[in-house]
Structure 1
Amino acid sequence: MLTVAVTGATGAQGGATARALLAAGHQVRALTRTPDSPAADALRSLGAQIRHADFDDRASLNAALTGTDSLFAVTTPFGTDTATEVQQGTALIDAAAQARLGHIVFTSAAHADRSTGVPHYQSKHLVEQHLRAVGVPWTVLAPAAFMDNYASGWTLDGLRDGTFAWPMPADRPLTLIPAADIGAFAALALQRRDEFTGHRIDIASDERTPAEMAEVLATAIGLPVAHQEVPLAYVRTRSDDLAAMFEYFITAGLDVDVTGLRREYPEVGWHSFTDWAVAQDWPTLLSQTPKPQ
């Protein structure tokens, strides 16, 4: 039985990884800045240890990691910036190295090790490079585009009006993955350390065009949904980073070997975009008051 420290435990990827490890009978130490949050309470009810930890407080990281075997690490620039993401990711990895952990599984982004020009891919790659340099056994998982984003933000706002607003042409394929599959793959890598150590793996569960996504969403919601291509110029007024990402999706594409992954790792229980869409509570999601943009 492993004792795994999980960062971002109250978020999508960390929460999914924590639940997958708990279901497999391992001990989870859920690291969070909000130990009294409903998400932390939910993990606590499943048997996780909840520990306060802040990437900007090295002492809290040291205390939270003491006595653990492995670490699931996730970083984000959203809410701060890419420089902060690199700083926090580096601090976390250094703390794990000092604690002499036996394995670090870091989630990056598919293609982040290529010349994408996407700021939050580049910041994750810098964290990856630091991880490889510290001498701790490592695995990098690099997820494709998140299915879960289609149930929030501007996409959800558009769906309320029967529009799948997405900044890509209707016929341009995109590889996708839900948080549940990221968590399942991370748990697999943590449990099979020898097999996955030293490997960087792009992961995705499905590949769909925006036109196909609109059809799937329409069926899942039970209402007509039409794809509408959002101009990159509009995205750029909201975020240069996201505009660069969508431009990369359109030009280079986010290719991941979905068929090979499903064949080689069936135990992940991969979810198609249809699987994910029909599992969402659309009546509740669509009835929520849109947040100010």
Structure 2
Amino acid sequence: MSEQQIIAVVGATGAQGGGLVRAILDDRSGRFAARALTRDPASARATELAALGAEVVGADLDDADSLRKAFDGAHGAFVVTNFWEPRTPEEELVRPATAREREQAGNAARAGQEAGVRHFVWSTLPDTRGYFRPDDGTPTFGGSYKVPHADGKAEADRFFLESGVPTTFLQANVYYEAFLDMFAPRRDESGALVLPLGFGEARVAAHAAEDVGRTALGIFRHGLGLAGRRVSVAGSLLTGEQYAAALCLALGEPVTYQSVNPALIRAAGFPGAAEVGNMLQYLIAAAPDIAELIDYEQLRELNPSLQSFDTWLTTHLPTSANFSSSAPS
């Protein structure tokens, strides 16, 4: 057997990076070896990856030197930043999450270039700002952002382009897992299940979290032919009514889709409500462009195990008794 090519995986204990590490370890071809990068190699998740056969290495996206060392000898590197990492208000004031992500992406891109990485897969998101009108009354964050967790990543694309390292831009969409949490069905006053979502009539792309990592492995397998390309992950492209119908079949009881205006979500008052409302408004406005970017034939070639929403529900959905009876505010 030829020597394995090392894939350095940033965020290896998270959803996307962890999915890639496991996909590499499960790959029967043995072409790649997984180098799991984490700030805390002693954590329970890191220890679990080591037990499965991954090389676990300490590295921090805020520490360029640690990244260069972690990338040394790697053929490829998967890079993801975490906008949602818990932070204190003081930390956010000094260094907003968007600025932090840009700096971290820049550190990774430069470190990979200096270490001789031959292929980046950068987990990015689209710039949403072109889908909002200046006079539409939607809030703006940080001076220019409409959906900061997407717009900031889109700005960071340039660091990978400037690095000169061949880069594939991997875009996630809505996680199926959101239907167990933020987008979960709820019981109304009569006890019936409703699915209150700000999807309007749009078809919204979604996928299992682990399918991001599996698709990333497919990209590394494919090689540099996908350098400079964007790959949008989606296992299903459904309307709110169709997501409700799938939940109905899985749960064995009616689930009614209830369209919620994104403006109502922005006004709901929960932490991050304004950004979530903007995100949903973007998903509606950009639906045709999002759908056009999805290449199902390519996705199934990269990830033969790509899961539809129906398939995913057979193994991940709790019983209907687990859903909250409290309606969203």
TM-based fold match above 0.5:
yes
Are the structure 2 counterparts of residues 214 and 265 from structure 1 closer, same or farther at C-alpha, using a change threshold of 3 Å?
closer
Residue ranges of structure 2 left out of the alignment (5+ in a row): 88-96, 132-145
Are the structure 2 counterparts of residues 48 and 286 from structure 1 closer, same or farther at C-alpha, using a change threshold of 3 Å?
farther
Residue 263 of structure 2 corresponds to which residue in structure 1? 233
- 1:28 and 1:48 in contact (8 A); partners too: yes
Which stretch of the first structure deviates more once superposed, 125-134 or 141-150? Answer: 141-150
Residue 22 of structure 1 corresponds to which residue in structure 2? 25
Residue 13 of structure 1 corresponds to which residue in structure 2? 16
CA distance in 2, matches of 1:281, 1:32: 30
Using structure 1 for the length normalisation, give the TM-score: 0.86
The alignment-based identity, stated in percent, is: 28
CA distance in 2, matches of 1:112, 1:177: 20
Which stretch of the first structure deviates more once superposed, 220-229 or 117-126? Answer: 220-229
1:213 to 219, 243, 247: 243
Kindly indicate whether residue 167 of structure 2 is the aligned counterpart of residue 167 of structure 1: no
Residue 286 of structure 2 corresponds to which residue in structure 1? 252
Map of 1:95-114 to 2, 5 A cutoff? 95-109=111-125, 111-112=126-127
Residue 104 of structure 2 corresponds to which residue in structure 1? 88
CA distance in 1, matches of 2:300, 2:117: 25
Which stretch of the first structure deviates more once superposed, 270-279 or 77-86? Answer: 77-86
1:242 to 276, 298, 304: 276
Using structure 2 for the length normalisation, give the TM-score: 0.78
Map of 1:14-93 to 2, 5 A cutoff? 14-24=17-27, 25=30, 26-79=32-85, 81-93=97-109
For the residue of structure 2 that corresponds to 1:271, the secondary structure is coil
Residue 158 of structure 1 corresponds to which residue in structure 2? 186
Task: Count how many residue pairs are aligned between Structure 1 and Structure 2.
Answer: 287
Residue 3 of structure 1 corresponds to which residue in structure 2? 6
CA distance in 2, matches of 1:228, 1:287: 16
Residue 14 of structure 1 and its aligned partner are, at CA, apart by 0.9
CA distance in 2, matches of 1:103, 1:114: 29
- 2:232 and 2:294 in contact (8 A); partners too: no
CA distance in 1, matches of 2:114, 2:51: 30
Residue 287 of structure 1 and its aligned partner are, at CA, apart by 8.1
Q: Which amino acid aligns with 1:34?
A: D
Q: Which amino acid aligns with 1:103?
A: H
Residue ranges of structure 1 left out of the alignment (5+ in a row): none
Residue 71 of structure 1 and its aligned partner are, at CA, apart by 0.3
Residue 191 of structure 1 corresponds to which residue in structure 2? 221
Query: Over alpha carbons, which structure has the higher Rg?
Result: 2
For the residue of structure 1 that corresponds to 2:164, the secondary structure is coil
Residue 308 of structure 2 corresponds to which residue in structure 1? 272
- 1:207 and 1:258 in contact (8 A); partners too: no
Which stretch of the first structure deviates more once superposed, 185-194 or 143-152? Answer: 143-152
CA distance in 2, matches of 1:182, 1:224: 30
Deviations 1:150-199 (A, max 9, x none): 223x3347379733232222x32111222232222210111222221222
- 1:156 and 1:286 in contact (8 A); partners too: no
- 1:206 and 1:258 in contact (8 A); partners too: no
Residue 129 of structure 1 corresponds to which residue in structure 2? 158
Residue 147 of structure 2 corresponds to which residue in structure 1? 118
CA distance in 2, matches of 1:218, 1:35: 42
For the residue of structure 1 that corresponds to 2:78, the secondary structure is strand
- 1:203 and 1:256 in contact (8 A); partners too: no
- 1:112 and 1:125 in contact (8 A); partners too: yes
